Structure 1
Amino acid sequence: MTGVTLPIDEVLPELRQCLREQTGAVLVAEPGAGKTTRVPLALLEEDWLQGKRVVMLEPRRLAARSAAAYMARSLGEPVGAAVGYRVRGETKVSAATRIEVITEGVLTRMLQSDPSLDGIGAVIFDEFHERSLQADLGLALCLQAQSLIREDLRLLVMSATLDAEPVSGLMGGVPVVRSRGRTYPVEMRYRPVQTAAVTAAQHPLGRGIEQAVAAVVLEALRDETEGDVLVFLPGAGEIRRTEALLGQALSAGSAPGGGRVRLAALYGAMPQEAQDRALQPAADGTRKVVLATAIAETSLTVEGVRIVVDSGLARVSRFSPRSGMTRLETVPVPLSSADQRRGRAGRLGPGVCYRLWSEEEERRLPAHGKPEVLEADLSSLALELAVWGVRDPAELAWLTPPPAAAYEQARELLAELGALDAAGTVTAHGRRMAELGAAPRLAHMLLRGAELGRGALACELAALLGERDLLRGAPGGADADMRLRVEALHALAAGADARTAGADPAAASRAAAEAGAWRRMLGIPAGARGIPDEAGMLLAFAYPDRVGQARGGGKFLLSGGRGAALGGDQRLAAAPYIVAADVDDGGTESRIWLAAPVSLPELERAMPDRIVQEASFEWDGERQQVLARIKRKLGVLTLKEAIWDKPPEDELRAALLSGIRSAGLTILPWSKASEQLKERIGFLHRNDPDSWPDMSEEGLLAALDDWLGPHVGGMRGRSDLQRLSMTAVLEAGLSWEQRSRLEREAPTHITVPSGSRIPVDYGDPEQPTLAVRLQEVFGWTETPRIAGGRVPLTLHLLSPAQRPVQVTKDLASFWRSTYFEVKKDLKGRYPKHYWPDDPLQATPTNRAKPRS
């Protein structure tokens, strides 16, 4: 190792002793302590290691390569000798390698292929405070492997800002070792955006935070006479715009020492050579301004930095269980990240940190960020657990358990992709998907594409989707058509310059290399090229829930039920069907960033098992009839539709009854007789609800299937219903005994003393009425009663002109007390009619006077 003393050296003896006595430990070391590069080397000669390898996980590829290179230099060896690394698409290890620095997905592959981790003596989780999904998963799997198979396996969790006790408890109460970092005082200067920002008129290229950052960087270069500047920005787009602003200012001479200031970008999607240049110290007589993402917060050492400018923002990926989509959000950093960034200014000596927020805003920042497991798409985690043999995450030890709803949604996606069978067990296809190490959607597309002889195109699409969009920001780059990206890759392979092809050179180079790596894994010839026009069919394998059907104006309905739209005027807007590969979760109408057209025949060939035939029965309120159709559907999309001439009678009947419920009972052909029958039964129901059916609108609609259903077979609408006899329908619902009682207890007519048969009105079930001329009931001593004598009729006694002269339920009382007053009035108005003095002894008549 180098002769430079680092703060971590003080606690290395304690850490080694802990790992001799126990199989785990937690190391908390402040930024700059040297834990990443000193700890693995310090463990190499421990007896318990017995010549096995030390594996150290880093959350980012750049940090993994940088740490391996630093440790190799300290041993005076090249990378790949005693110290090597494995990251996606690149491996530098040999038979002599004792320390492997790997990215987290690599550990999962190691565990799945060999749960005993044969040949590995220790696994170190560096920068665990970032709480990446793969780190949480890796630790959970390692803890189970340690408890079941490898009791001698050492596990070490290292972090700068971690709350150590919960991790120690998760690992069985292992010791916690703490190291102070060697940091110098850092002066804090707060520059809230609203006071630091310059106007867009001064810097037309600037947008929002970039203006403020550029202004503060220029201030720092003017006020601080030495030291390089490390600037934290949320993403590559903000870095490029800030770089343009600063470049203008430096070229115009508006910044001190403009000719001696070198601008360098640092983010994960850059070529390795450019990343290495950003990490190197500035040449003598120059100053360096490094514009970086959160990648520079930990593990990496950016030489020469004495000034930090922190935008206070970071870009995070958040998964929405509601939509099944992931979106990138720019969010304020937590205090733990802000402190990590500040610490970068105090590694070499006293430094300065400019924060683009106020002290009041700082008091409202959260202490720590959320673990990725709470906000990520869990499909990869669910697939790894299925391959591991775990269905319920609770079988493993987690610092933060995966949310149940998001985990179940992930398993549903895996089942849809064929990775899980009906019992929820991983399939052979699912195991092959996991072995590829790609996201489950892309892994499924790669395997299906290879099966169909379109593996080359599948590899190109997987590479393009796994990297930053190579046309983003280029002329015409706003066009979402994936075919343009495939054509750009083909142009590059044919020797065209990336910029000529309208592509980002770094992104294009990475995508080409990634496509080559996938081809090698799938055994596809190196020179094979895909047909761009088949991109939509292959993307449908990865995104069966994002097949879009045109709705006009560049808007689409996705098969999963969401609405989505293209931005601006794009050629894909005219496509009847597309597959959306990159869609944000933007409210009710998502934005489509990447997509490809697909034809209906291609969809039918690619996913016959997903396209189902569905019967559709809809009530047409205007025509008042059932429309029966056969539909071929993909998710919520109707691909084809035809009229169904002979639908199953039961389903047609159910649809018709449903239509009647929505239209109401007035659609039925009620006659006067059927209305009276309904009212009579309703009257008896009111007085004896247990014995008679409910004839109210609500009651009839609720029991529609029982009383009307048997009579509407083969009918489709109102015109068919007119053939019904509603009297016969209602009578069919009564038993023989009920029909007999109906005639006795709710007669249609009453014969009055004059001999006339007068109809009973049951319109008001509370008081059925009998409207009869007064002269016809002479001699009737008592009010007639119905319902077995329980209910008296309400008598409407009429004049010869059929006008009511009295309403009563007590006829006897009327004769005694009221008749004589009524008689006096009637005799005056109708002198030719018979008005006897004694109505009880008089002869009833339906004429003016009784016959002689």
Structure 2
Amino acid sequence: MREPPANHPSDRVQFPTELPITARIGDIANAIENHQVIIVAGETGSGKTTQLPKICLAMGRGSNGYIGCTQPRRIAATSVAARVAQELESELGEEVGFKVRFNDKVKKTSFVKFMTDGILLAEIQGDPLLRGYDTIIIDEAHERSLNIDFLLGFLQRLMPRRPDLRIIVSSATLEHARFASFFGGAPVIEVSGRTYPVDVLYRPPRDDEGDIADAVANTVNEITELDPRNDVLVFLPGEREIRESMSALEQRALPHTVILPLYARLSAGEQQRVFQTLPQRRVVLATNVAETSLTIPGIVYVVDAGVARVNRYSVRTGVTQLLVEPISKASADQRKGRCGRTESGVCFRLYEEQDYDGRPAHTDPEIKRVGLAGVILRMKALRLGDIESFPFLDPPQKRAIDEGYRVLEELGALDEAGRLTPLGEQLGKLPVDPRLGRMILGGRDESALREVVI
């Protein structure tokens, strides 16, 4: 365990009066003081992502271990860390830092550590009781990625062994009752969102619009004719659609307009451009990385293509595919909430209203959509025990579990007793599907790694 840092910043923490969460600071602090787990349910714009770590700091937490805050995406971890450091008038990497894959800006003397949920999972191998933390905040828990479900189950098991650890589960308002019952009746504090009215206009593609890029470019053109100054955020399913839409928009030669892409694989410098205020109007073309956590300032118009790329595993074929699917109502509402933060906004949905009405309320949790071979492998590597007995919010089906074990045995990752083989331990360290990992290791052993990776 690290030495308690000197110069705790608790007396320097201030809270923006315009954020709705500021009105609930006393309630949240009391709940953290008196309960091991609390659930904070807040709509888009409530301020929970940036202010929850500061509430913990103001209480004096972060002295006996970091205040750890997980984010589903790297861009959220880095940009939120920068924002909180700025609010504390501190250099990023000093009192507030972040750790994502290939980039660690945290000091032993830091108090708040933002990270992806995958980083915290990886740290469990070297610190199974999470002694390096005195507070853990799981942000955007409603996304229900595999990593989030892993952490929730792990923390539920850890609670009796770490009674001093405080756990805060932060979620949109959708699933808070389930989270509360999962943690034995944990108290729920609801925070309202800070939003101005947002009008929704349904604008399905016209017959002469051949693809999403055409529909997006024409919609942005229509917005420009009404209002050539205010910023636009467009949601698209992937990089290819972003490039095609950029090309279509550039052909329109919109005046005083800069077109900015935003997706996970962009360099940090390129990603940061969307958060900077520019003299020109910005049209940001983003994947669903901009759906939660991130607030891009100044957005007045949202254009929602209504689709996203989603992992789907077929038990029949044994292959996980990245499919373009209609988003759920919850995701559509999150996207709508990206405007109307500082003034009234308009959301253009590129589909029919009846289409929206027929969509599922939520996106399926990832554990119901992916192959379980990688899940079982990681659980073995993390020594989390058997998948059958792990406390998942949504336990997977037996058929999917059996298929996962079959794949791992076929790859030589498990022995007859179900323990990891030396090959399985090597596979568990590779952040790829076990089948691909086995190909990479085979390529290494046959001195053909370059050919396999290509």
Q: What is the TM-score when the length of structure 1 is the normalising length?
A: 0.50
CA offset digits 1:10-42 (Å, max 9, x no partner): 122211111111110111111111111110121
Is 2:140–2:170's contact at 8 Å kept on the other side of the alignment? yes
State the secondary structure of the residue aligned to 1:117: coil
**2:242 aligned to which of 239, 243, 250:** 239
Q: How does 1:132-171 map to 2 (within 5 A)?
A: 132-147=145-160, 149-171=161-183
The change in CA–CA distance for 1:377 and 1:350 in structure 2 (over 3 A counts) is: same
TM-aligned CA distance change 1:403 to 1:79, over 3 Å: farther
Alignment match of 1:310 (pick from 304, 322, 327):
304
* 1:261 aligns with one of 257, 263, 284: 257
Change (3 A) 1:73 1:122: same
Point out which structure has higher relative CO (alpha carbons under 8 A, 6+ apart).
2
How many correspondences in the alignment? 441
Change (3 A) 1:48 1:352: closer
Whole-angstrom CA distance in 2 between matches of 1:129 and 1:171: 15
Matched AA of 1:34: G
Q: Deviations over 1:302-333 (max 9, x none)?
A: 12111111111111111111111111111111
1:362 paired with 2:356, answer yes
Q: Which secondary structure does the structure 2 equivalent of 1:41 belong to?
A: helix
Following TM superposition, by how much is the alpha carbon of 1:398 offset from its aligned partner in structure 2, in angstroms? 1.5
Rounded Cα–Cα distance in structure 1 between residues aligned with 2:218 and 2:332: 20
Aligned letter for 1:28?
A
> What pairs with 1:297-446 in structure 2 (closer than 5 Å)?
297-389=291-383, 392-445=386-439
- The aligned runs of 1:650-661 (5 Å cut-off) are none
What residue is the counterpart of 2:204 in the other structure? Answer: 192
Q: Which moved more, 1:385-394 or 1:179-188?
A: 385-394
What's the counterpart of residue 16 of structure 2?
4
Q: Alpha-carbon deviation of 1:387? A: 3.0
- The secondary structure found in structure 2 opposite 1:346 is coil
Report the 3-state secondary structure (helix = DSSP H, G, I; strand = E; otherwise coil) of the residue aligned with 2:317: coil
Aligned equivalents of 1:153, 1:448: Cα separation in 2? 43
Q: CA deviation at 1:47?
A: 5.4
Tell me which residue corresponds to 2:275.
279
In the TM superposition, residue 411 of structure 1 has moved relative to its aligned partner by 2.0
- Counterpart in the other structure of 1:288: 282
**Equivalent position of 2:141 in the other structure:** 128
Alpha-carbon deviation of 1:429? Answer: 3.6
On the 8 A contact 1:31/1:343 being kept in 2, the answer is yes
* Candidates 80, 86, 91, aligned match of 2:99: 86
Tell me by how many angstroms 1:219 deviates: 0.6
Q: Is the 8 A contact 2:313 2:320 kept in 1?
A: yes
Cα distance in 2 for partners of 1:3, 1:139 equals 28
Q: Which segments of 5 or more consecutive residues in structure 2 lack a partner in the other structure?
A: 1-12
Kindly state the Cα deviation for residue 293 of structure 1 after the two structures are TM-superposed.
Answer: 0.8
In structure 2, relative to structure 1, the CA distance for the partners of 1:439 and 1:101 (3 Å cut) is: farther
Identity %: 37
- Residue identity in the other structure for 1:212: A
Matching of residues 739-818 of structure 1 within 5 Å: none
The residue that corresponds to 1:103 in the other structure is 116
Q: Give, in whole Å, the separation in 2 of the partners of 1:369 and 1:29.
A: 18
Structure 1 match to 2:10: none
C-alpha distance after superposition, 1:136-155 (max 9, x if no partner): 011111211223x2222222
Q: Give the partner amino acid of 1:95.
A: K
Q: 8 Å contact 1:137–1:381 — kept in the other structure?
A: no
When normalised by structure 2's length, the TM-score is 0.92
Classify the secondary structure of the residue corresponding to 1:269: coil
Does the residue aligned with 1:28 lie in a helix, a strand or coil?
strand
Q: Does 2:85 align with 1:72? A: yes
Which letter maps to 1:418?
Answer: G
In structure 2, relative to structure 1, the CA distance for the partners of 1:9 and 1:345 (3 Å cut) is same
Equivalent residues of 1:418, 1:427 under 8 A apart: yes
Name the counterpart of 2:191.
179
Aligned to 2:339, the other structure's residue is in SS state: helix
- 1:28 equivalent in structure 2: 41
| Aligned alpha-carbon RMSD (Å) | 2.0
Name the SS for the 1:277 alignment partner. helix
CA deviation digits over 1:212-247, x for unaligned, max 9? 121111111111244200011111111111111111
Quickly say closer, same or farther: Cα 1:271–1:389, change in 2 above 3 A: closer
Shift of 1:48: 6.3
